[in-house]
Amino acid sequence: MSVGSKVALAALPPAAAPLALAVFVLPELWMLWQLFAPNASGLGPLVRACPAAGGQVVLTIDDGPDPATTPALLDLLGAHGAKAVFFVVGEKVRAHPGLARAIADHGHELGNHTDRHAAGAFWCFAPSRIAREIDRCADAVEAAAGVRPRFFRAPAGIKNPALFVQLEARGLAYLGWSARGRDAVSPEPARPIGRLLRGLRPGAVLLTHESGRNAPVRLAVVTGLLREMERRGLRAALPPAPPARPRSAAGRSAPSLPAPAAD
């Protein structure tokens, strides 16, 4: 809404004040919700579910690669026969290209988690900066592992008004989640595991993390989650290719990935 329109609303008589207030603030509140609510899809389509056939779930691990956690995660996933999408940060990939290559060599997927993980400022970056954050991360992944990411996730799930135009131009799908553990500050793994287990079902997309000062707890969360998945007969598998979207579909919700083709 233009400044002039808001000035006109402010001049309405007192009886119209509730309506004027609603019209005055609701667009901004809606926009703030879309930017800062991690799984809000009003600005563009988010994938939040995967094919449920065969007890499949998608396990995602954000914020690596990290020498303190990535090798242990690769061993852990291998022991459980599980595959994961690692949403990696470009500057960390450049610092540890061998770890990014190891993720791909172990059959896991590398996702784009921006170049610098600027969670506090990403929402207000100019379109050119958003493009640079995406492209520098993708270039780092390709240089290290020989692949370009298919999926993107914003730092801390905080989006930007220009984000989905940039993703569409690059053929990237935004992979959200259906359950997360909130493992960033928990001093022990039980609560994050409990939050994840409440959303653990065929078709779920699960958000976990590695790296950081809470790394031991984060590793324990993934360990407990994989054990429970195994007990329930669920398997962590890679998502299929994101659906192709015509340009006219930008801004609409894409709630799930297509089921893989039958063999």
Residues designated catalytic: 62, 209
Q: Taking a C-beta distance cutoff of 8 angstroms, is the pair 18, 226 a contact?
A: no
Pairing of strands 235-236, 46-47: unpaired
- Cβ-defined contacts of 68-71 (< 8 Å, 24+): 68/211, 68/215, 69/210, 69/211, 69/215, 69/218, 69/219, 70/96, 70/99, 70/102, 70/103, 70/210, 71/99, 71/102
Instruction: Please give the Cα distance from 212 to 218 (Å, whole number).
Output: 9
Sequence-ordered list of residues with C-beta below 8 angstroms from that of 27, at least 6 positions apart, any chain:
1
Which residue do the tokens 């801004």 mark? 251
